[in-house]
Amino acid sequence: MSSGSTAEGSPVGAGLAAPVTACRSCDGPAPRLFLSLGATPVANRLVRADALGAADPVFPLEVGFCEQCALVQLTHALPADEIFDADYPYFSSFSDMLVRHSEKHVIDLIASRDLGPDSLVVEVASNDGYLLKAFVERGIPVLGIEPTPGPAAAARKAGVPTREEFFGADLARTLVAEGLKADVIIANNVMAHVPDLNSFVEGFSILLKDDGVIDVENPDVGALLANNEFDTVYHEHFCYFSTIAVDALMRRHGLALAGVDEFPELHGGTLRWRMQHQAAAEPASSVAAVLDGERAAGLGTFDRYASFGDGVRTLQTELAELLRSLRADGKSVAAYGAAAKGATLLNSTGIDHTLVDFVVDRNVHKQGKYIPGARIPILDPAALLERQPDYLLLLAWNVRKEIIAQQEEYAARGGRFIVPVPRPVVL
């Protein structure tokens, strides 16, 4: 197992980090530990300049496997309001790749489901309306459900009706009582963030029309293992899904897998699962193919996960040694992407402001703040050409093609890129 480091003097938040004593999905025995990343700050809890004098609270960051239903999940959990607070900084619209991917999804759904002015599309965790506004522009009624104030306000400003609440069975019942039923429910990159999985999926079943569909996207745990994507682990992600685990979860609530699509380039490898009520579902051949492939790869047994920690330790050692060597040679290093995965990579590997001078990010809501724990300042990407660091560590490696394309001038001036996973390489 890998062991992470923490900022000196940082208090471990033992009182808030509750041990997981039963599987979140099947209520079976506690998950079996296979990876520890030490104690780290909440990844998206960026630090304001006026708060640099106080230490960042840190919490255990460990991952386990349910031997009963194959769900990968954190072994400790923080309350949702400790993670998704009023300053939550993630705004989806700042990723060009994600916006393009989402618009194609919208176009495909309109065509395949024959959506029109009498339809209703509900998105859970609709963020700043980046996806739903594509439906609105085409005259299709929508409802966004987004618990964080900043993104919810941005969505309303973009013309997307938004309820500022957490989604679950109770909210679904309220919406049905108000006369709403969804033709399509979309939940992209949210199911991993949900502490009460069964209420969440029960809400799908309640809100969905008899012939409706649910599209859920999340990073693929198989890709996480294959590509050493340990930095995808952070407190905000309670769970990490295989199709095996999703199938078991959905069946428990009267839903069935109808299709599985793979997007290898999205977020380091993403799966889209399509669900329907069991009575309406007609599973595509992709479902059996993906399930068979996952079982063959060992994703349904503990042994495959137990070997993962060795690769993580090797990656962390190589990356830290590379950065120290560059520093010793007098080279300057910056980073791109103040993403949550970056906070995990930096803090669990012991990389701080002594090795990386600054981080740049296009998200204006992050600029002027600092990476928690590592305390590296976050600047506008214009700083790359102003300061011209010798090397640029791609913390947001999942969109490296987009970043490298944006930074042609930086590269033309001699700047080089460091991609940290699956093994550190210099481009």
Task: Please say if the pLDDT value at position 341 is more than 50.
Answer: yes
What's the confidence (pLDDT) of residue 3? 39
Which of 194, 195, 224 has the alpha carbon at shortest distance from 299? 224
- The answer to whether residue 142 scores a pLDDT higher than 70 is yes
283 band by pLDDT with thresholds 50, 70 and 90: confident
Q: Which carries the bigger pLDDT value, residue 13 or residue 134?
A: 134
Distance CA 232, CA 174 (A): 34
Torsion 2-354-235-335 (CA) sign: negative
Question: Which runs of consecutive H residues, i.e. helices, occur in 208-242?
Answer: 221-226
Indicate the helix (H) or strand (E) that contains 134. Answer: helix 132-136
- The helices-and-strands tally (H runs, E runs) of the chain is 15, 19
CA 362/CA 360 separation, integer angstroms:
7
DSSP labels, 186-205: EEES-GGG-S-HHHHHHHHH
How confident is residue 236, by pLDDT bands cut at 50, 70 and 90?
A: confident
Please state which of the ranges 57-71, 72-86, 224-238, 299-313 shows the lowest mean pLDDT: 72-86
Q: Which pLDDT band holds residue 84 (cuts at 50, 70, 90)? A: low
Q: Could you give the domains of the chain? A: 92-282 (3.40.50.150), 310-426 (3.40.50.720)
Structure tokens belonging to residue 124? 């859970």
Per-residue model confidence (pLDDT) at position 30: 96
Q: What is the DSSP string of 251-290?
A: HTTTEEEEEEEEETTSTTSEEEEEEEETTT----HHHHHH
Is the confidence at residue 9, as pLDDT, over 50? Answer: no
Tens digits of residue pLDDT in 347-394 = 999 999 999 999 999 989 899 999 999 999 999 999 999 999 999 999
What is the percentage of the chain residues whose pLDDT exceeds 90?
A: 76
| pLDDT confidence band for 77 (50 / 70 / 90) | confident
19-47 b/e (C-beta count within 10 Å ≥ 16 → b): ebeebbbbeeeebeebbbbbbbbbbbbbb
Residue 327, number of CB atoms within 10 A of its CB: 14
* Residues 214 and 255 sit within 8 Å (Cβ to Cβ): yes
- Is the CB of residue 138 less than 8 Å from the CB of residue 110? yes
Highest-scoring range by mean pLDDT, 13-17, 183-187, 261-265: 183-187
Beta strands in 13-100 (DSSP E): 18-19, 32-40, 59-65, 72-74, 76-77
